Homo-oligomer: A and B are copies of this chain.
Amino acid sequence: MPSTSIAACPIPATCNWQPFGLPRRPANRTVVFRGFLEDTDQLKFVIDSRSEKAEQIEHQPWGEACWYFPNTREQFRIAGYLTLVRSSSADSEREIARQKSWQELSDAARVQFAWPHPGETRAEDAGAFSPPPPDAVSPLPNFCLLLLDPVQVDRLELRGEPQNRWLYRRDSSQSWSTLAINP
């Protein structure tokens, strides 16, 4: 996967991706990119199983991340299959990856998983947002790891005379091909 520019880029650790929203209504949000799953091209994100996103992903395990890097004026659109790794995952390798992602979070990021149910009417008890810090080793049950396994990358370079654009595609033998296309 032609991921070097992304992995090496120190700027935005956020990206936009969107699984299905309501039936036939795609949704979109900003999430923090957590690096690649070890020895793979799969992008890691973390989400709360109580959020709308989790259900959307199970209905529609396809997503597209869109990054724009203002400094280099490049856009990457990375489309692929989504896998949600819940606490009940029977896949031990993925469960280990889930635990590792939890351990790598900051305390401030971890405690959010102990906050009241996201998207529900605001909890009036201010203490609800100051729970005791959760265990730093064992993830809370609502903590999920989300994997995006890319099959297509559309890269647009706005800098250049004219702009440049490439389409990278992964075939069934897992090889990547590159095609220069019109911007």
Contacts and interface: CB of A to CB of B under 8 A. Distances in A.
A63 B130 CA distance: 35
Contacts of A28: 16-18, 28, 64-66, 77
A139 interface: no
Contacts of A117: 182
A130 B161 CA distance: 9
A164 to B, nearest CB: 8
A90 interface: no
Interface residues of A, number: 47
Contact of A16 (B16, B116, B122, B182): B16
Contacts of A118: 181-183
Contacts of A36: none
A14 B12 CA distance: 14
A39 interface: no
B120 A182 contact: yes
A37 to B, nearest CB: 21
Given A16-B16, A115-B162, A25 B180 contact: no
Most chain B CB within a 10 A radius of its CB, from A77, A123, A130: A77
Contacts of A20: 26
Nearest to A78: B28
A169 B95 CA distance: 38
A119 interface: yes
Interface string A32-47: 0000000000000000
Contacts of A115: 162, 182-183
12 contacts: A18-B26, A26-B64, A27-B77, A27-B79, A28-B64, A28-B66, A29-B66, A115-B183, A117-B182, A121-B182, A122-B179, A122-B182
